[in-house]
Amino acid sequence: MVDCHAMRESMTLLLTESLDRSRREQTHEHIESCAACTAEWNAYKETWSLLGALPELDVPARVRDQFLAEFATPENVVAIRRRSSARWLAQAAAVVVLVGGSYYAGNRTHRV
Ligand SMILES: [Zn+2]
Determine contact, residues 56/87, Cβ cutoff 8 Å. Answer: yes
pLDDT at 77 over 60: no
pLDDT band at 52 (very low <50, low <70, confident <90, very high): confident
- What is the pLDDT of the chain when averaged over all its residues? 73
Predicted pLDDT at 104? 47
Q: pTM of the entire structure?
A: 0.47
How far is the centre of ligand 1, averaged over its atoms, from the C-alpha of 5 (Å)? 7
Q: Between 101 and 46, name the one with better pLDDT.
A: 46
Q: Which residues make up the environment of ion ligand 1, defined by Cβ < 5 Å?
A: 4, 34, 37
Determine contact, residues 37/8, Cβ cutoff 8 Å. Answer: yes
Mean pLDDT of 84-102: 62
